[in-house]
Copies of this chain bind each other. A is one copy, B any other.
Amino acid sequence: MSDDRASAVLKRAVIIAVGSELLTPNRIDTNSLFLTTHLNALGIDVSQKFVVGDEPADLSDTLQYAVGRSDLVVTTGGLGPTEDDLTREAVATCLGLPLEEKPKLIEAIRARFADRGLEMPAINSRQALVPAGAIVIPNAHGTAPGLWIDRESTVILLLPGPPRELRPMFEQLARDRLSARSDGRRIYRRVLRITGRTESHVEELTQPVYAKWYAGRPSIKTTILASLGQIELHLSTTDANVSVAESVLDDATVELAGVLGKDLISTDGSSLEEVTGSLLCEEGVRVAVAESCTGGLVASRLTDVPGSSAYMHAGWTLYSNESKTALLGVDERLIHKHGSVSEEVAEAMAVGARHLAGVEFGLGVTGIAGPSGGSNEKPIGTVCVALAGPDGATKTRRLQLPGERDRVKFQASQAVLDMLRRTLMRRRQSR
Protein backbone atom coordinates (compact mmCIF):
# COMPACT_ATOMS: atom_id res chain seq x y z
CA MET A 1 0.00 0.00 0.00
CA SER A 2 1.71 3.23 -1.13
CA ASP A 3 1.52 6.38 1.00
CA ASP A 4 -0.69 8.14 -1.54
CA ARG A 5 -3.22 5.37 -1.48
CA ALA A 6 -3.11 5.09 2.26
CA SER A 7 -4.27 8.66 2.51
CA ALA A 8 -7.33 8.21 0.24
CA VAL A 9 -10.28 8.05 2.60
CA LEU A 10 -13.06 5.52 1.96
CA LYS A 11 -16.54 7.03 2.27
CA ARG A 12 -18.95 5.21 -0.01
CA ALA A 13 -19.19 1.45 -0.34
CA VAL A 14 -21.10 -0.83 -2.67
CA ILE A 15 -21.71 -4.44 -1.65
CA ILE A 16 -22.06 -7.15 -4.30
CA ALA A 17 -23.34 -10.55 -3.18
CA VAL A 18 -22.43 -13.22 -5.73
CA GLY A 19 -24.36 -16.48 -6.11
CA SER A 20 -27.25 -17.74 -8.23
CA GLU A 21 -28.92 -19.20 -5.13
CA LEU A 22 -29.38 -15.59 -3.89
CA LEU A 23 -31.63 -14.96 -6.91
CA THR A 24 -34.05 -17.78 -6.05
CA PRO A 25 -37.12 -17.44 -3.81
CA ASN A 26 -35.33 -19.49 -1.13
CA ARG A 27 -32.31 -17.45 -0.19
CA ILE A 28 -31.47 -13.92 0.75
CA ASP A 29 -28.18 -12.10 1.21
CA THR A 30 -27.69 -11.36 4.90
CA ASN A 31 -23.91 -10.86 4.88
CA SER A 32 -24.56 -7.29 3.78
CA LEU A 33 -26.29 -6.51 7.09
CA PHE A 34 -23.19 -7.58 9.02
CA LEU A 35 -20.92 -5.67 6.63
CA THR A 36 -23.09 -2.54 6.84
CA THR A 37 -22.89 -2.51 10.65
CA HIS A 38 -19.10 -2.58 10.55
CA LEU A 39 -18.70 -0.22 7.60
CA ASN A 40 -21.01 2.35 9.21
CA ALA A 41 -18.99 2.10 12.41
CA LEU A 42 -15.98 3.19 10.30
CA GLY A 43 -17.93 6.10 8.79
CA ILE A 44 -18.37 4.33 5.47
CA ASP A 45 -21.86 4.62 4.01
CA VAL A 46 -23.32 1.76 1.98
CA SER A 47 -24.76 3.50 -1.07
CA GLN A 48 -25.97 0.48 -3.00
CA LYS A 49 -26.26 -3.29 -2.75
CA PHE A 50 -26.36 -5.79 -5.58
CA VAL A 51 -27.08 -9.45 -5.92
CA VAL A 52 -25.73 -11.12 -9.00
CA GLY A 53 -25.74 -14.76 -10.13
CA ASP A 54 -22.93 -17.02 -11.29
CA GLU A 55 -22.99 -15.51 -14.80
CA PRO A 56 -19.65 -14.03 -15.90
CA ALA A 57 -21.20 -11.26 -18.04
CA ASP A 58 -23.59 -10.07 -15.30
CA LEU A 59 -20.87 -10.16 -12.67
CA SER A 60 -18.43 -8.25 -14.81
CA ASP A 61 -21.03 -5.60 -15.78
CA THR A 62 -21.98 -5.11 -12.14
CA LEU A 63 -18.35 -4.81 -11.06
CA GLN A 64 -17.68 -2.24 -13.78
CA TYR A 65 -20.72 -0.26 -12.65
CA ALA A 66 -19.77 -0.43 -8.99
CA VAL A 67 -16.07 0.39 -9.39
CA GLY A 68 -16.93 3.67 -11.09
CA ARG A 69 -19.36 4.74 -8.38
CA SER A 70 -17.75 4.08 -5.02
CA ASP A 71 -14.53 4.17 -3.04
CA LEU A 72 -14.93 0.63 -1.82
CA VAL A 73 -16.46 -2.37 -3.55
CA VAL A 74 -16.99 -5.41 -1.32
CA THR A 75 -17.91 -8.70 -2.98
CA THR A 76 -19.11 -11.71 -1.00
CA GLY A 77 -19.09 -15.25 -2.36
CA GLY A 78 -17.87 -16.89 -5.54
CA LEU A 79 -14.38 -17.66 -4.15
CA GLY A 80 -14.90 -21.41 -3.79
CA PRO A 81 -13.04 -24.05 -5.78
CA THR A 82 -15.77 -25.02 -8.25
CA GLU A 83 -16.57 -23.83 -11.75
CA ASP A 84 -19.45 -21.74 -10.40
CA ASP A 85 -17.01 -19.63 -8.43
CA LEU A 86 -16.15 -16.78 -10.75
CA THR A 87 -15.47 -13.72 -8.64
CA ARG A 88 -11.65 -13.90 -8.86
CA GLU A 89 -11.74 -14.20 -12.66
CA ALA A 90 -14.40 -11.52 -13.13
CA VAL A 91 -12.53 -9.01 -10.97
CA ALA A 92 -9.24 -9.71 -12.75
CA THR A 93 -10.89 -9.25 -16.15
CA CYS A 94 -12.78 -6.14 -15.10
CA LEU A 95 -9.60 -4.49 -13.78
CA GLY A 96 -7.36 -5.83 -16.58
CA LEU A 97 -5.12 -7.72 -14.14
CA PRO A 98 -3.57 -11.13 -14.94
CA LEU A 99 -4.25 -13.99 -12.51
CA GLU A 100 -1.15 -15.42 -10.84
CA GLU A 101 -0.91 -18.70 -8.96
CA LYS A 102 0.59 -18.28 -5.49
CA PRO A 103 2.59 -21.38 -4.48
CA LYS A 104 2.42 -20.36 -0.81
CA LEU A 105 -1.36 -20.34 -0.97
CA ILE A 106 -1.48 -23.80 -2.50
CA GLU A 107 0.72 -25.01 0.35
CA ALA A 108 -1.60 -23.44 2.92
CA ILE A 109 -4.69 -25.00 1.34
CA ARG A 110 -2.96 -28.39 1.07
CA ALA A 111 -1.99 -28.14 4.75
CA ARG A 112 -5.63 -27.40 5.70
CA PHE A 113 -6.72 -30.61 4.02
CA ALA A 114 -3.79 -32.56 5.46
CA ASP A 115 -4.78 -31.46 8.97
CA ARG A 116 -8.02 -33.34 8.46
CA GLY A 117 -6.18 -36.35 7.00
CA LEU A 118 -7.30 -35.50 3.47
CA GLU A 119 -5.52 -34.93 0.19
CA MET A 120 -6.26 -31.59 -1.50
CA PRO A 121 -8.58 -32.11 -4.48
CA ALA A 122 -7.00 -30.73 -7.68
CA ILE A 123 -9.80 -28.17 -8.16
CA ASN A 124 -8.86 -26.39 -4.94
CA SER A 125 -5.72 -25.05 -6.61
CA ARG A 126 -8.01 -22.49 -8.29
CA GLN A 127 -8.29 -20.84 -4.89
CA ALA A 128 -4.59 -19.97 -5.10
CA LEU A 129 -5.14 -17.78 -8.18
CA VAL A 130 -4.74 -14.11 -7.33
CA PRO A 131 -5.11 -10.98 -9.51
CA ALA A 132 -1.63 -9.40 -9.88
CA GLY A 133 -0.94 -6.95 -7.05
CA ALA A 134 -3.73 -8.17 -4.79
CA ILE A 135 -3.03 -8.58 -1.10
CA VAL A 136 -4.02 -11.98 0.27
CA ILE A 137 -6.18 -11.93 3.43
CA PRO A 138 -5.82 -15.23 5.30
CA ASN A 139 -8.98 -17.23 6.00
CA ALA A 140 -8.79 -18.94 9.39
CA HIS A 141 -12.01 -20.90 8.82
CA GLY A 142 -11.86 -22.08 5.21
CA THR A 143 -9.75 -22.57 2.11
CA ALA A 144 -10.82 -19.44 0.19
CA PRO A 145 -8.54 -16.50 1.03
CA GLY A 146 -9.88 -12.96 0.86
CA LEU A 147 -8.31 -10.47 -1.55
CA TRP A 148 -7.65 -6.73 -1.16
CA ILE A 149 -7.02 -4.84 -4.38
CA ASP A 150 -6.02 -1.18 -4.13
CA ARG A 151 -6.69 0.33 -7.52
CA GLU A 152 -6.47 4.04 -8.28
CA SER A 153 -9.38 5.60 -6.39
CA THR A 154 -11.16 2.36 -5.47
CA VAL A 155 -10.45 -0.51 -3.11
CA ILE A 156 -11.96 -3.83 -4.21
CA LEU A 157 -12.33 -6.33 -1.43
CA LEU A 158 -13.21 -9.96 -2.20
CA LEU A 159 -14.62 -11.94 0.72
CA PRO A 160 -15.81 -15.56 0.94
CA GLY A 161 -19.57 -16.16 1.21
CA PRO A 162 -19.94 -18.34 4.34
CA PRO A 163 -20.56 -16.05 7.34
CA ARG A 164 -18.27 -18.04 9.63
CA GLU A 165 -15.40 -17.33 7.21
CA LEU A 166 -16.37 -13.79 6.21
CA ARG A 167 -17.05 -12.38 9.66
CA PRO A 168 -13.73 -12.88 11.46
CA MET A 169 -11.88 -11.90 8.29
CA PHE A 170 -13.81 -8.67 8.00
CA GLU A 171 -13.57 -7.85 11.69
CA GLN A 172 -9.77 -8.06 11.38
CA LEU A 173 -9.83 -5.82 8.28
CA ALA A 174 -12.04 -3.32 10.12
CA ARG A 175 -9.36 -3.14 12.81
CA ASP A 176 -6.39 -2.70 10.48
CA ARG A 177 -6.62 -1.93 6.75
CA LEU A 178 -10.09 -0.40 6.69
CA SER A 179 -9.60 1.58 9.87
CA ALA A 180 -6.43 3.09 8.36
CA ARG A 181 -8.52 4.34 5.43
CA SER A 182 -11.29 5.97 7.46
CA ASP A 183 -11.35 9.70 8.23
CA GLY A 184 -12.62 9.40 11.76
CA ARG A 185 -16.10 10.51 10.74
CA ARG A 186 -18.63 7.89 11.90
CA ILE A 187 -22.28 7.11 11.41
CA TYR A 188 -24.16 6.92 14.71
CA ARG A 189 -27.62 5.46 15.07
CA ARG A 190 -30.45 5.05 17.53
CA VAL A 191 -33.37 2.70 17.04
CA LEU A 192 -36.48 3.61 19.06
CA ARG A 193 -38.93 0.73 19.35
CA ILE A 194 -42.55 1.60 19.96
CA THR A 195 -45.58 -0.51 20.64
CA GLY A 196 -49.31 0.13 20.97
CA ARG A 197 -49.53 2.77 18.22
CA THR A 198 -49.92 2.81 14.44
CA GLU A 199 -47.22 4.11 12.11
CA SER A 200 -49.18 7.24 11.21
CA HIS A 201 -49.91 7.94 14.86
CA VAL A 202 -46.21 7.70 15.67
CA GLU A 203 -45.43 10.03 12.75
CA GLU A 204 -48.04 12.54 13.92
CA LEU A 205 -46.61 12.55 17.44
CA THR A 206 -42.93 12.63 16.57
CA GLN A 207 -42.72 14.63 13.34
CA PRO A 208 -42.87 18.06 15.07
CA VAL A 209 -40.01 16.88 17.30
CA TYR A 210 -37.70 15.28 14.78
CA ALA A 211 -38.23 17.93 12.08
CA LYS A 212 -36.24 20.43 14.09
CA TRP A 213 -33.40 17.97 14.65
CA TYR A 214 -33.12 17.48 10.90
CA ALA A 215 -32.27 21.16 10.52
CA GLY A 216 -29.75 20.99 13.38
CA ARG A 217 -26.00 20.50 13.26
CA PRO A 218 -25.09 17.75 12.97
CA SER A 219 -28.36 16.96 11.21
CA ILE A 220 -30.36 13.92 12.36
CA LYS A 221 -32.05 11.83 9.70
CA THR A 222 -35.22 10.00 10.75
CA THR A 223 -37.06 7.04 9.25
CA ILE A 224 -40.27 5.49 10.57
CA LEU A 225 -40.68 1.79 9.88
CA ALA A 226 -43.61 -0.44 10.70
CA SER A 227 -42.80 -4.05 11.47
CA LEU A 228 -44.89 -6.83 12.92
CA GLY A 229 -46.33 -5.77 16.27
CA GLN A 230 -44.14 -2.69 16.60
CA ILE A 231 -43.04 0.58 15.02
CA GLU A 232 -39.40 1.60 14.75
CA LEU A 233 -38.06 5.12 14.58
CA HIS A 234 -34.48 5.16 13.21
CA LEU A 235 -32.29 8.17 13.91
CA SER A 236 -28.85 8.62 12.38
CA THR A 237 -26.21 11.31 12.33
CA THR A 238 -22.66 11.68 11.11
CA ASP A 239 -19.84 13.50 12.79
CA ALA A 240 -16.11 13.26 13.33
CA ASN A 241 -16.59 13.94 17.02
CA VAL A 242 -18.15 11.05 18.89
CA SER A 243 -19.35 13.09 21.83
CA VAL A 244 -21.02 15.71 19.61
CA ALA A 245 -22.85 12.99 17.66
CA GLU A 246 -23.84 10.98 20.72
CA SER A 247 -24.99 14.09 22.52
CA VAL A 248 -27.36 15.29 19.76
CA LEU A 249 -28.74 11.77 19.46
CA ASP A 250 -29.19 11.58 23.23
CA ASP A 251 -31.03 14.91 23.29
CA ALA A 252 -33.30 13.90 20.42
CA THR A 253 -33.99 10.54 22.03
CA VAL A 254 -34.90 12.10 25.38
CA GLU A 255 -37.30 14.53 23.70
CA LEU A 256 -38.90 11.77 21.61
CA ALA A 257 -39.18 9.58 24.69
CA GLY A 258 -41.11 12.36 26.42
CA VAL A 259 -43.63 12.43 23.58
CA LEU A 260 -43.94 8.64 23.29
CA GLY A 261 -44.26 7.88 27.00
CA LYS A 262 -44.86 4.25 27.95
CA ASP A 263 -45.33 3.26 24.30
CA LEU A 264 -41.57 3.47 23.91
CA ILE A 265 -40.03 0.03 24.39
CA SER A 266 -36.36 0.90 24.00
CA THR A 267 -33.95 3.43 22.54
CA ASP A 268 -30.98 1.12 21.96
CA GLY A 269 -32.63 -1.40 19.66
CA SER A 270 -33.40 -3.81 22.54
CA SER A 271 -36.25 -6.18 21.85
CA LEU A 272 -39.44 -6.34 23.88
CA GLU A 273 -38.29 -9.61 25.51
CA GLU A 274 -34.94 -8.04 26.48
CA VAL A 275 -36.59 -4.96 27.99
CA THR A 276 -39.18 -7.05 29.83
CA GLY A 277 -36.39 -9.34 31.07
CA SER A 278 -34.41 -6.38 32.43
CA LEU A 279 -37.48 -5.08 34.25
CA LEU A 280 -38.12 -8.52 35.80
CA CYS A 281 -34.48 -8.59 36.96
CA GLU A 282 -34.63 -5.07 38.39
CA GLU A 283 -37.84 -5.83 40.24
CA GLY A 284 -36.50 -9.18 41.42
CA VAL A 285 -39.65 -11.00 40.33
CA ARG A 286 -40.27 -14.14 38.28
CA VAL A 287 -42.78 -15.09 35.63
CA ALA A 288 -44.62 -18.19 34.43
CA VAL A 289 -46.51 -18.46 31.15
CA ALA A 290 -49.53 -20.48 30.04
CA GLU A 291 -49.99 -20.45 26.28
CA SER A 292 -52.56 -21.81 23.93
CA CYS A 293 -52.48 -20.15 20.48
CA THR A 294 -48.91 -18.89 20.82
CA GLY A 295 -47.86 -22.51 21.41
CA GLY A 296 -44.64 -21.84 23.34
CA LEU A 297 -43.56 -18.71 21.48
CA VAL A 298 -43.89 -16.42 24.53
CA ALA A 299 -41.70 -18.76 26.60
CA SER A 300 -39.26 -19.14 23.72
CA ARG A 301 -38.95 -15.37 23.28
CA LEU A 302 -38.45 -14.83 27.02
CA THR A 303 -35.73 -17.51 27.04
CA ASP A 304 -33.99 -16.05 23.98
CA VAL A 305 -32.48 -13.55 26.40
CA PRO A 306 -29.20 -14.59 28.07
CA GLY A 307 -29.67 -14.84 31.83
CA SER A 308 -33.43 -15.40 31.55
CA SER A 309 -33.21 -18.38 33.91
CA ALA A 310 -33.15 -15.75 36.69
CA TYR A 311 -36.80 -14.83 36.07
CA MET A 312 -38.36 -17.28 33.62
CA HIS A 313 -39.52 -20.05 35.86
CA ALA A 314 -41.95 -22.26 33.97
CA GLY A 315 -44.14 -22.34 30.92
CA TRP A 316 -47.04 -24.47 29.71
CA THR A 317 -48.23 -24.98 26.17
CA LEU A 318 -51.81 -26.19 26.48
CA TYR A 319 -53.32 -26.84 23.13
CA SER A 320 -56.46 -28.69 24.24
CA ASN A 321 -59.26 -27.87 26.69
CA GLU A 322 -58.49 -31.09 28.59
CA SER A 323 -54.86 -30.11 29.09
CA LYS A 324 -55.88 -26.66 30.33
CA THR A 325 -58.06 -28.31 32.94
CA ALA A 326 -55.91 -31.31 33.85
CA LEU A 327 -52.50 -29.65 33.86
CA LEU A 328 -53.23 -26.09 34.90
CA GLY A 329 -56.45 -26.43 36.86
CA VAL A 330 -58.58 -24.20 34.61
CA ASP A 331 -62.21 -24.83 35.66
CA GLU A 332 -63.92 -26.72 32.83
CA ARG A 333 -67.20 -24.92 33.58
CA LEU A 334 -65.43 -21.64 32.76
CA ILE A 335 -64.38 -23.05 29.37
CA HIS A 336 -67.90 -24.37 28.83
CA LYS A 337 -69.50 -21.04 29.71
CA HIS A 338 -67.21 -18.56 27.93
CA GLY A 339 -65.39 -20.72 25.39
CA SER A 340 -61.68 -21.54 25.47
CA VAL A 341 -60.94 -18.27 23.65
CA SER A 342 -62.19 -15.76 26.21
CA GLU A 343 -60.76 -13.22 28.60
CA GLU A 344 -62.06 -15.38 31.46
CA VAL A 345 -60.07 -18.44 30.35
CA ALA A 346 -56.95 -16.36 29.59
CA GLU A 347 -57.23 -14.97 33.11
CA ALA A 348 -57.65 -18.45 34.64
CA MET A 349 -54.57 -19.59 32.71
CA ALA A 350 -52.51 -16.65 34.01
CA VAL A 351 -53.70 -17.28 37.58
CA GLY A 352 -53.04 -21.03 37.24
CA ALA A 353 -49.53 -20.54 35.85
CA ARG A 354 -48.64 -18.05 38.58
CA HIS A 355 -50.00 -20.30 41.31
CA LEU A 356 -48.56 -23.62 40.10
CA ALA A 357 -45.12 -22.17 39.42
CA GLY A 358 -45.16 -20.26 42.71
CA VAL A 359 -43.96 -17.01 41.14
CA GLU A 360 -45.01 -13.34 41.22
CA PHE A 361 -46.41 -12.98 37.69
CA GLY A 362 -48.44 -15.27 35.51
CA LEU A 363 -49.30 -14.71 31.85
CA GLY A 364 -52.06 -16.36 29.82
CA VAL A 365 -52.74 -16.35 26.07
CA THR A 366 -55.56 -18.06 24.23
CA GLY A 367 -56.79 -17.39 20.71
CA ILE A 368 -57.51 -18.54 17.21
CA ALA A 369 -54.35 -18.41 15.10
CA GLY A 370 -56.02 -19.95 12.05
CA PRO A 371 -56.23 -20.97 9.28
CA SER A 372 -59.29 -22.79 10.70
CA GLY A 373 -61.25 -22.52 13.95
CA GLY A 374 -62.81 -19.10 13.42
CA SER A 375 -66.51 -18.25 13.85
CA ASN A 376 -68.69 -15.18 13.30
CA GLU A 377 -68.49 -14.26 16.92
CA LYS A 378 -64.79 -15.13 17.25
CA PRO A 379 -63.11 -14.84 13.86
CA ILE A 380 -59.56 -15.99 13.16
CA GLY A 381 -57.17 -13.61 14.88
CA THR A 382 -59.30 -13.27 18.03
CA VAL A 383 -56.83 -13.45 20.90
CA CYS A 384 -57.28 -12.95 24.65
CA VAL A 385 -54.30 -12.16 26.84
CA ALA A 386 -54.13 -11.92 30.61
CA LEU A 387 -51.76 -11.12 33.44
CA ALA A 388 -51.98 -12.18 37.08
CA GLY A 389 -49.87 -10.17 39.53
CA PRO A 390 -48.52 -10.61 43.05
CA ASP A 391 -51.29 -8.48 44.59
CA GLY A 392 -53.92 -10.89 43.28
CA ALA A 393 -55.00 -8.35 40.69
CA THR A 394 -55.45 -9.45 37.10
CA LYS A 395 -55.65 -7.68 33.76
CA THR A 396 -57.18 -9.01 30.59
CA ARG A 397 -57.48 -7.80 27.01
CA ARG A 398 -59.21 -9.06 23.91
CA LEU A 399 -57.59 -8.34 20.53
CA GLN A 400 -58.42 -8.84 16.89
CA LEU A 401 -55.15 -9.49 15.07
CA PRO A 402 -54.68 -9.46 11.29
CA GLY A 403 -52.71 -11.85 9.11
CA GLU A 404 -51.71 -15.46 8.80
CA ARG A 405 -51.06 -17.97 11.56
CA ASP A 406 -47.43 -17.02 12.18
CA ARG A 407 -48.30 -13.31 12.27
CA VAL A 408 -51.14 -13.85 14.71
CA LYS A 409 -48.82 -15.93 16.92
CA PHE A 410 -46.16 -13.25 16.97
CA GLN A 411 -48.53 -10.31 17.56
CA ALA A 412 -50.25 -12.24 20.36
CA SER A 413 -46.88 -12.90 22.02
CA GLN A 414 -46.06 -9.21 21.57
CA ALA A 415 -49.32 -8.17 23.24
CA VAL A 416 -48.89 -10.32 26.35
CA LEU A 417 -45.21 -9.43 26.79
CA ASP A 418 -46.09 -5.75 26.43
CA MET A 419 -48.82 -6.12 29.06
CA LEU A 420 -46.15 -7.44 31.44
CA ARG A 421 -43.69 -4.67 30.48
CA ARG A 422 -46.22 -1.91 31.17
CA THR A 423 -47.22 -3.47 34.49
CA LEU A 424 -43.58 -3.70 35.57
CA MET A 425 -42.95 -0.09 34.55
CA ARG A 426 -45.89 1.12 36.64
CA ARG A 427 -44.65 -0.99 39.55
CA ARG A 428 -41.19 0.53 39.28
CA GLN A 429 -42.57 4.06 39.17
CA SER A 430 -44.88 3.56 42.12
CA ARG A 431 -42.07 2.47 44.41
Residues on B with beta carbons closer than 8 Å to the beta carbon of A36 = 23-25
CA distance A304 to B369 in the complex (A): 9
CA distance A262 to B289 in the complex (A): 36
Interface size on A (CB < 8 Å)? 81
Pairwise interchain contact A48-B37, C-beta atoms closer than 8 A:
no
Is A172 close to B, CB under 8 A? no
A167 to chain B, nearest CB (A): 12
Is A317 close to B, CB under 8 A? yes
Pairwise interchain contact A372-B295, C-beta atoms closer than 8 A:
no
Which residue from B21, B234, B312 sits with its C-beta under 8 Å from A223? B21
Given contacts A20-B223, A55-B47, A223-B20, whether A319 and B327 have CB atoms under 8 Å apart is no
Which residue from B48, B53, B315 sits with its C-beta under 8 Å from A52? B48
Is A371 close to B, CB under 8 A? yes
Residues on B with beta carbons closer than 8 Å to the beta carbon of A32 = 28
Per-residue CB proximity of A308-351 to B under 8 Å, as 1/0? 11001111111110010011000000000000000000000000
Pairwise interchain contact B300-A295, C-beta atoms closer than 8 A:
yes
Pairwise interchain contact B313-A315, C-beta atoms closer than 8 A:
no
Which residue from B37, B312, B317, B406 sits with its C-beta under 8 Å from A25? B37
CA distance A29 to B307 in the complex (A): 32
Pairwise interchain contact A297-B295, C-beta atoms closer than 8 A:
no
Residues on B with beta carbons closer than 8 Å to the beta carbon of A250 = none
A48 to chain B, nearest CB (A): 5
Q: Which chain A residues numbered 209 to 235 have a C-beta less than 8 Å away from chain B? A: 221, 223, 225-226, 232, 234
Which residue from B26, B28, B69, B300 sits with its C-beta under 8 Å from A300? B300
Residues on B with beta carbons closer than 8 Å to the beta carbon of A28 = 28-30, 32-33
Q: Which chain A residues numbered 58 to 114 have a C-beta less than 8 Å away from chain B? A: 58, 61-62, 65, 69
Pairwise interchain contact A406-B304, C-beta atoms closer than 8 A:
yes
Given contacts A47-B23, A48-B58, whether A357 and B327 have CB atoms under 8 Å apart is yes
Pairwise interchain contact A296-B306, C-beta atoms closer than 8 A:
no
Pairwise interchain contact B191-A232, C-beta atoms closer than 8 A:
no
Is A370 close to B, CB under 8 A? yes
Pairwise interchain contact A295-B304, C-beta atoms closer than 8 A:
yes
CA distance A40 to B25 in the complex (A): 9
**Taking CB as reference atom, which chain B residue is nearest A297?**
B300
Pairwise interchain contact A53-B58, C-beta atoms closer than 8 A:
no
Pairwise interchain contact B327-A312, C-beta atoms closer than 8 A:
no
Pairwise interchain contact A312-B295, C-beta atoms closer than 8 A:
yes
Per-residue CB proximity of A370-394 to B under 8 Å, as 1/0? 1110000000000000000000000
Is A421 close to B, CB under 8 A? no
Which residue from B47, B312, B320 sits with its C-beta under 8 Å from A319? B312
Q: Which chain A residues numbered 265 to 292 have a C-beta less than 8 Å away from chain B? A: 269, 289, 291
Which residue from B223, B226, B306, B405 sits with its C-beta under 8 Å from A405? B306
Pairwise interchain contact A234-B21, C-beta atoms closer than 8 A:
yes
Residues on B with beta carbons closer than 8 Å to the beta carbon of A53 = 47-48
Pairwise interchain contact B315-A317, C-beta atoms closer than 8 A:
yes
Residues on B with beta carbons closer than 8 Å to the beta carbon of A6 = none
Pairwise interchain contact B309-A320, C-beta atoms closer than 8 A:
yes
Pairwise interchain contact A308-B319, C-beta atoms closer than 8 A:
yes
**Taking CB as reference atom, which chain B residue is nearest A405?**
B306
A66 to chain B, nearest CB (A): 10
Pairwise interchain contact A370-B306, C-beta atoms closer than 8 A:
yes
CA distance A370 to B306 in the complex (A): 7
Pairwise interchain contact A304-B409, C-beta atoms closer than 8 A:
yes
Pick the 10 closest A-B CB pairs, nearest first: A295-B303, A296-B299, A315-B317, A296-B296, A296-B300, A25-B37, A49-B51, A299-B317, A297-B300, A314-B323
A-B contact pairs, 30 of them (CB 8 A): A20-B223, A21-B234, A24-B36, A26-B232, A26-B234, A26-B269, A28-B29, A47-B58, A162-B226, A294-B300, A294-B303, A296-B296, A296-B299, A297-B303, A300-B317, A300-B409, A303-B369, A304-B405, A304-B406, A304-B409, A306-B372, A307-B372, A308-B319, A312-B317, A313-B320, A314-B319, A314-B320, A315-B317, A315-B318, A316-B317
